[in-house]
Structure 1
Amino acid sequence: MKNIAIIPARGGSKRLPNKNILPLHGIPLIVHSILYAQKDSTIIDEIYVSTDDEKIKEIALQYGVKVIDRPENLSGDFEPTVSALKHVLESIEADVENVILLQATNPLRPQNLLEQAFEMYQKGNYDSLFTVSRNHQKLGKIVENKFHPFNYSIGQRSQDLEPLFFENGLLYITKASLILQEIIISEKAFPYEVNSIFANVDIDTQEDLEYTEYLLRKLITHNS
């Protein structure tokens, strides 16, 4: 049975038009996730891009991955990601055991993340795994113009906060059988902690794109 990576990439972004093909450090945004998946060929048997956009399809094919044409009814603004994953599984003949979801809008990931996470996924015999990061902010709600702290008491030091975590979107691993039930994160999913500045990158605006470009340049300068 195979492990496949799926990169969903719609063409109809509203806040940042054509964001999945905008250049990030000289190559289209979606290509960063394609190249990341291609580096882990010992884990990933096949890579699929699910898209409704001809330009995205053209770019994906240039980089040697398979493309599944996503129908219009699964490409709306409010359509959940899992519907695209399920459509891929229903469109291919491969006998798939695990689906690795890589979101194009999270282009930066620690180099060995997939290898380490997949090892944990297998050792723990989990049916799904997703990456999380520690929140270090003091959070609260505003109700009737009054601030109500959520995870701290007024005056409490940040270092004394109760540990809270957020889903960072860097990586998801799920049994194909769950995807077919329209589930990505199961009740027994393992939350794999990632402490990396990349966890704060999720491109949805021009400012997000510029910040990511800045991080890439700093990373390359540091490693050169």
Structure 2
Amino acid sequence: MPKTIAMIPARMGSQRLIKKNLRELDGVPLITRAIRKCKSAACFDEIWVNSEDKEFASIAAQEDVGFHNRPQELGDNNTTSEQFVTEFLSHHDCEYIFQVHSITPLLTTDEVVAFTNAFVTSGHDVMLSAIPDQIEVAYKGQPVNFTFDEKTNSQDLTPVHRVTWSITGWKRNAFLEAVAKGKCATYSGSIGFFPVNSMAGHAIKTEVDLSIAQAYLNVMKAR
């Protein structure tokens, strides 16, 4: 069986929502929710929290998962995911790595399982979580999936896919080979898209975002 790792990035120095990974949603910190979601999925050989701040080490230990202490210089808001994923993969051997974001808490456990299984069996080098949307989309004033020559019913349109980053999968070797060649490893090789629920891309970046997520959970619990 191929070895799979779930990596949960958790930067402490967020600016718009201070210490957002430690903020609580439904009484549970976002970082803890992400860890427990990965554990509940029961489809990973290892689960790691990846942060520049050792405050997350105690949380990882409490939840019985690994803690990867990335360099401080990879913890500021100018650092790209490609940089810290590369650094992480240089220390951890696996065949597949799955980045699971704590700040997109409305991605479900079932979707984590389905995404992981789909990627491992797909043959792709990269898999991106995305929300399919059957609506007219234009780019720089020009139609993408419709034409100005006629009105098309929305159900007949080709869906566009909005990438959510709530969960992303890469083949480790393909990713590192692309880095070594100076290519963009994030999108290197064969790319697949996996549909997730319409709220899975709701990222917690502000106080309002957190309030919206809580309101959504309250509605879902009341159904």
TM score, norm. by length of structure 2: 0.84
Distance apart, 1:154 and its partner CA: 10
Q: Which runs of 5+ in 2 are unaligned?
A: 180-184
Q: What code does the residue aligned with 1:173 have?
A: G
How far apart, CA to CA, are the structure 1 residues paired with 2:142 and 2:123?
38
Partner Cα distance (2:3, 2:137) in 1: 42
Work out the CA distance in 1 between the residues paired with 2:211 and 2:142: 32
The corresponding residue for 2:131 is: 133
Identity of aligned residues (%): 23
Is the aligned partner of 1:87 residue 2:115? no
What residue is the counterpart of 1:164 in the other structure? 160
User: Residues 196-215 of structure 1 correspond to what in structure 2 (within 5 A)?
Assistant: 196-215=197-216
What is the Cα deviation at residue 128 of structure 1?
1.9
Using the alignment, how far apart are the partners of 2:205 and 2:143 within structure 1? 26
Deviations along 1:162-202, one digit per CA (max 9) or x if unpaired, are 421110122111111133244233341111122x2323411
Unmatched runs of 5 consecutive residues or more in structure 1:
143-147
Where in structure 1 do 4 or more consecutive aligned residues deviate above 6 Å? none
How many residues in Structure 1 have an aligned counterpart in Structure 2? 213
Q: 1:155–1:7: structure 2 CA closer, same or farther, 3 Å change rule?
A: same
SS in 2 for 1:82: helix
Q: Say whether the 8 Å CA contact 2:41–2:109 is kept in structure 1.
A: no
Q: Deviations over 1:64-105 (max 9, x none)?
A: 11111111221221211122222222234xx31110110111
Match of 2:182 in 1: none
Aligned to 1:216: 217
Determine whether 1:118 maps to 2:104. Answer: no
- Cα distance in 1, alignment partners of residues 153 and 212 from structure 2: 25
In structure 1, what is the Cα distance between the partners aligned to 2:149 and 2:214?
Answer: 36
Task: Give the Cα–Cα distance (whole angstroms) in 1 for the partners of residues 135 and 208 of structure 2.
Answer: 21
Deviation at 1:7, TM superposition (A): 0.5
Counterparts of 2:27 and 2:208, CA distance in 1: 17
Matched with 1:145 is none
Question: Per the alignment, do residues 149 and 207 of structure 1 end up closer, same or farther by CA in structure 2, a change over 3 Å counting?
Answer: farther
* Residues in 2 aligned to 1:73 and 1:116: alpha-carbon distance in whole angstroms: 34
Structure 2 distance, partners of 1:219, 1:156, is 35
CA distance in 1, matches of 2:39, 2:31: 13
Deviation at 1:109, TM superposition (A): 1.5
Residues 101-131 of structure 1: per-residue CA shift (max 9 Å, x gap): 1011111223321322233223322222111
CA contact (8 A) 2:26 2:214 kept: yes
Query: Which residue matches 1:189?
Result: 191
Q: Give the corresponding residue for 1:6.
A: 7
Contact 2:5/2:47, CA 8 A, preserved across alignment? yes
- Evaluate the alpha carbon distance shift between residue 97 and residue 57 of structure 1 in structure 2; reply closer, same or farther with a 3 A threshold: same
CA distance in 1 between counterparts of 2:172 and 2:31 reads: 23
Letter in 1 for 2:191: A
Contact 1:174 1:185 in 2 (8 A): no
